[in-house]
């Protein structure tokens, strides 16, 4: 199993450019999410999805779009990059949402380092 795969690993963008961070998982997980990690801020939820065709906003959704056309893929789109979006982005997946009482392991990708200049 590849687990959660993120591409690209590193990216430099100019202000105003758009791009898509790719996330794919091969574990048939229904729940997928995107976080950003910034120094002193911890990880913050951007968007999440509880299944194909269903997405919702997290804590910091502004400037980002997502879609979930398949169970496997959950791309994150930056519409018009800004320096404030310089961060490390993590995609995560699990079989059920983290609030499900039975609990289940959440798997993270290795991160995408994005710099906006």
Partner 1 sequence: KQEVTQIPAALSVPEGENLVLNCSFTDSAIYNLQWFRQDPGKGLTSLLLIQSSQREQTSGRLNASLDKSSGRSTLYIAASQPGDSATYLCAVTRGAQKLVFGQGTRLTINP
Q: In angstroms, give the least distance from the CB of 12 to partner 1.
A: 17
Q: In angstroms, give the least distance from the CB of 42 to partner 1.
A: 4
In this complex, which beta carbon is closest to partner 1, that of residue 16 or of residue 51? Answer: 51
Q: In angstroms, give the least distance from the CB of 57 to partner 1.
A: 10
56-115 residues in contact with partner 1 (CB under 8 A) are 56, 58-59, 90, 92, 97-99, 101, 103, 105-111
Contact status: 48 vs partner 1 (CB under 8 A): yes
Tokens of 82: 């800004």
Q: How far apart are CA 59 and CA 57, in angstroms?
A: 7
In this complex, which beta carbon is closest to partner 1, that of residue 18 or of residue 37? Answer: 37
Binding site for partner 1 (CB under 8 A): 4, 31, 33, 40-45, 48, 50, 56, 58-59, 90, 92, 97-99, 101, 103, 105-111
């Amino acid at each position: 199993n590849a687990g959660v795969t993120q591409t690209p690993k590193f990216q430099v963008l100019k202000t105003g450019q758009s791009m898509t961070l790719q996330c794919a998982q091969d574990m048939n997980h229904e729940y997928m999410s995107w976080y950003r990690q910034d120094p002193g801020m911890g990880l913050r939820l951007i968007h999440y999805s509880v299944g194909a065709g269903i997405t919702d906003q997290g804590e910091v959704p502004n400037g980002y779009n997502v879609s979930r056309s398949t169970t496997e893929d959950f791309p994150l789109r930056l519409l018009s990059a800004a320096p404030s979006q310089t961060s490390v982005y993590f995609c995560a997946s699990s079989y059920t949402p983290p609030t499900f009482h039975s609990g289940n392991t959440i798997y993270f990708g290795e991160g995408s380092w994005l710099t906006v200049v």
